[in-house]
């Protein structure tokens, strides 16, 4: 049997700094741990006819938790009602991937959901709403969503690749024998799929290039890359279902990265619209890239990144996959007939 390793034990000061791990999912949003202790919050939960009872249960638990900042919990199944005036939209609901399925296999099934939700956001959400798409294939779903929401800046749409970033940090920390928070500048480039590129060239451990600290290029190019790329699929095989807890944590991390200033020199990964990117990545797709925020919900792309042939080659491969997915959903983005390779 394989062993489950834990990274080096942190000192007590480090443990205190990692206090953010204490809360979880929607309860974390309600508690004030994400948007801060002075920010009242109203939670609007969108379900379906099939899930509405379960959602009522979640709403009851939220109410019974007596969170001082939680001013309203409402639930519904009509996105045109539920999305009214929302400032953050976390689009999680979609058919999940089962054992043996690739995320791209969900393109057809889930694309419709995100076209409809894009239209609803366009009609009724706050004009500066920030949208985080989690349902897979999340990059292309985010593209479908933003194309159906022309009133909202395309820059405001994100595909969640923070889970991949967290996975990559964990693997580097394990290999280097350090605690997770010693790993910085961890970029996930491209698609949230098995072509994603966990960038060990720019990653740093204790402020030094990860390549120098780990000093095992074969492991970085082969094992590390593949472990991160396939982590979601392996987890599905083991659990029989898609990751849930670590996804919830990573959604919270993604919001926090946009609502807090990025620590000096560091960056975070998020899948964003490529128009105007400085890296030569094809325009008009949603591609994960390194970003920094001033903490106002907005972000800028990091420009202090380096490339080598290996990285460039991998960036092209994940770009090609996203371009193919885009062609396959042209009917949902208003760009003609779909063509699936």
Closest to ligand LMR by CB, 84 vs 243, is: 243
CB of 239 to ligand LMR, least distance (A): 10
Closest to ligand LMR by CB, 165 vs 176, is: 165
Closest to ligand LMR by CB, 35 vs 224, is: 224
CB of 103 to ligand LMR, least distance (A): 5
Closest to ligand LMR by CB, 243 vs 260, is: 243
The CA distance from 128 to 299, in Å, is 13
Give the position of tokens 């699929």. 233
- Measured in Å, how far apart are the chain's first and last C-alpha atoms? 39
Which residues contact ligand LMR by CB under 6 A? 97, 103, 136, 163, 232-233, 235, 242-243
The CA distance from 304 to 264, in Å, is 12
CB of 98 to ligand LMR, least distance (A): 9
CB of 224 to ligand LMR, least distance (A): 16
Reply yes or no on whether 192 is catalytic.
yes
- HEC-encoded secondary structure of the chain: CCCCCCCCCCCHHHHHHHHHHHCCHHHHHHHCCCCCCCCCEEEEEECCCCCHHHHHHHHHHHHHCCCCCEEEEEEECCHHHHCCCCCEEEECCCCCCCCCCCHHHHHHHHHHHHHHHHHHHHHHCCCCCEEEECCCCHHHHHHHHHHCCCCCCHHHEEECCHHHHHHHHHHHHHHHCCCHHHEECCEEEECCCCCCEEECCCCEECCEEHHHHHCCHHHHHHHHHHHHHHHHHHHHHHHCCCCCHHHHHHHHHHHHHHHCCCCCCCCEEEEEECCCCCCCCCCCCEEEEEEECCCCCCCEECCCCCCCHHHHHHHHHHHHHHHHHHHHCHHHHCCCCCCCC
The CA distance from 32 to 35, in Å, is 6
Closest to ligand LMR by CB, 70 vs 132, is: 132
Residue sitting closest to ligand LMR (CB): 232
CB of 248 to ligand LMR, least distance (A): 11
Closest to ligand LMR by CB, 90 vs 120, is: 90
The CA distance from 341 to 330, in Å, is 13
CB of 191 to ligand LMR, least distance (A): 11
CB of 136 to ligand LMR, least distance (A): 5
Closest to ligand LMR by CB, 50 vs 238, is: 238
Instruction: List beta partners, residue 74.
Output: 44
**Active-site residue identified among 158, 182, 192, 292:** 192
Catalytic residues: 192
């Amino acid at each position: 049997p394989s062993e489950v390793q834990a990274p080096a034990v942190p000192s007590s000061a480090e443990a205190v700094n990692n206090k953010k791990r204490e809360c979880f999912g929607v309860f974390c949003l309600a508690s004030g741990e994400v948007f801060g202790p002075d920010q009242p919050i109203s939670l609007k939960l969108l379900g379906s006819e099939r899930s509405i009872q379960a959602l009522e249960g979640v709403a009851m638990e939220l109410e019974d938790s007596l969170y001082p900042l939680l001013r309203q919990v409402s639930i519904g199944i009509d996105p045109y009602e539920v999305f009214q005036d929302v400032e953050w939209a976390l689009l999680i609901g979609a058919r999940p991937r089962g054992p043996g399925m690739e995320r791209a296999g969900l393109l057809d099934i889930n694309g419709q959901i995100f076209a409809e939700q894009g239209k609803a956001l366009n009609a009724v959400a706050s004009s500066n709403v920030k949208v985080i798409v989690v349902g897979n294939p999340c990059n292309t779903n985010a593209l479908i969503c933003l194309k159906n929401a022309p009133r909202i800046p395309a820059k405001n749409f994100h595909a969640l690749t923070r889970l991949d970033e967290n996975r990559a940090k964990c693997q580097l920390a394990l290999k280097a024998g350090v605690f997770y928070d010693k790993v910085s500048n961890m970029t996930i480039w491209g698609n949230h799929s098995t072509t994603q590129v966990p960038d060990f060239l720019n990653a740093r451990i204790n402020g030094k290039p990860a390549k120098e600290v780990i000093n095992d290029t074969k492991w970085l190019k082969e094992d590390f890359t593949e472990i991160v790329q396939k982590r979601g699929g392996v987890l599905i095989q083991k659990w029989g279902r898609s990751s849930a807890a670590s996804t919830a944590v990573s959604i919270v991390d993604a919001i926090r990265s946009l609502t807090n200033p990025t620590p000096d020199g560091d960056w975070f990964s998020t899948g964003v619209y490529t128009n105007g990117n400085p890296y030569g990545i094809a325009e008009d797709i949603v591609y994960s890239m390194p970003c920094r925020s001033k903490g106002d919900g907005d972000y800028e792309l990091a420009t202090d990144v380096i490339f080598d042939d290996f990285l460039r080659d991998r960036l092209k491969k994940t770009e090609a996959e996203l371009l193919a997915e885009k062609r396959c959903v042209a009917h949902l983005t208003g760009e003609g007939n779909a063509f699936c390779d």
